[in-house]
Amino acid sequence: MARTKTPANVVGPQVRKLRNKLDLTQEELAARCQLHGLDISRGTLSQIEARLRRVADSELFRLSVVLNVATDDLFPSEMRKERDKLRTRQGSGG
């Protein structure tokens, strides 16, 4: 995939943070992903974490399973807060 100037995904930093929290190397996380049916290399994982590669929805799902978090937890907290604001507005009829 071609590199772009704008970030290719929003989940990369959270993937890195969660990987580090589990004390895993990129190689170890890639191996765990492969055990769960996500054919991913250390290099591809590096590109995801650096926001240079897009992440398919099926990859997002598998990453959440391997990292043992909800899919929402892979998104930046700012996006989750914005979602909650929008939900509140919808609930209030506005």
Domain of residue 25, residue span: 12-91
Rounded CA separation 9/37 (Å): 21
HSE-CB of 9 using CA atoms within 13 angstroms: 25
Domains: count for the chain:
1
> Does the residue 7 lie in any domain?
no
CATH assignment of the domain containing 50: 1.10.260.40
pLDDT score, position 87: 85
> Does the residue 40 lie in any domain?
yes
> Does the residue 61 lie in any domain?
yes
From first to last of its 94 residues, the chain has per-residue pLDDT tens of 555 578 999 999 999 999 999 999 999 999 999 999 999 999 999 999 999 999 999 999 999 999 999 999 999 988 888 888 888 888 776 5
> Does the residue 3 lie in any domain?
no
3-state helix, strand, coil in the chain (%, to 5): 60, 0, 40
pLDDT score, position 39: 96
> Does the residue 5 lie in any domain?
no
> Does the residue 36 lie in any domain?
yes
Q: What is the pTM of this model?
A: 0.83
> Does the residue 6 lie in any domain?
no
